[in-house]
């Protein structure tokens, strides 16, 4: 069962960013499935690594638009990205050191964070980006 599902409620009305959010959601669901199905540690680690890497890429893509268009709420938004990256890197490091087993709690944290971030923070840039011609 997938925990988080993309729907129009999560749309930021910018095609390229919606596509990246869909991919992130798919990756979180893949991690959830690996955990629930008791897939091996190596596979789970690989999925987690891919998720961290893709998250970094996605945040950079958003931040490049912020810089390019002079988005006024860049600082606060970037702060949220940095805090999230720190948190998932910690999961990743602890998982690799076998100090952490992946649990529903972690996957819930990832999906809740992403949902809240898209709906609460990302959605604030829709109008601004649309005015700049980004769709």
In the complex, the residues that contact Fe ion under the rule CB under 5 A are: 62, 122
Least CB distance to Fe ion at residue 8 (A): 18
Nearer to Fe ion, 34 or 118 (CB): 118
Nearer to Fe ion, 22 or 39 (CB): 22
Q: How far apart are CA 54 and CA 31, in angstroms?
A: 13
Nearer to Fe ion, 73 or 96 (CB): 73
Least CB distance to Fe ion at residue 81 (A): 6
Nearer to Fe ion, 21 or 30 (CB): 21
Token pair 């919606």 is found at 18
Least CB distance to Fe ion at residue 63 (A): 8
Q: How far apart are CA 30 and CA 13, in angstroms?
A: 25
Q: How far apart are CA 131 and CA 48, in angstroms?
A: 36
Least CB distance to Fe ion at residue 14 (A): 11
Distances (CA, A) of 117 to 13, 47, 60: 15, 21, 15
DSSP state at residue 10 = G
């Amino acid at each position: 069962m997938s925990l988080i599902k993309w729907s129009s409620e999560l749309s930021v009305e910018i095609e390229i960013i919606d596509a990246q959010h869909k991919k992130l959601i798919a990756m979180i669901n893949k991690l959830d499935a690996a955990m629930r199905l008791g897939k091996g540690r190596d596979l789970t680690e690989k999925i987690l690594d891919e998720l961290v890497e893709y998250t970094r890429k996605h945040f950079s893509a958003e931040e490049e638009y912020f810089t390019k268009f002079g988005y006024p709420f860049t600082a606060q938004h970037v702060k949220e990205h940095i805090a999230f990256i720190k948190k998932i890197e910690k999961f990743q490091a602890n998982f690799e050191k076998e100090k952490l087993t992946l649990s529903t709690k972690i996957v819930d944290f990832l999906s809740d964070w992403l949902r809240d971030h898209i709906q609460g923070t990302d959605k604030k840039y829709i109008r601004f980006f649309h005015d700049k011609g980004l769709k």
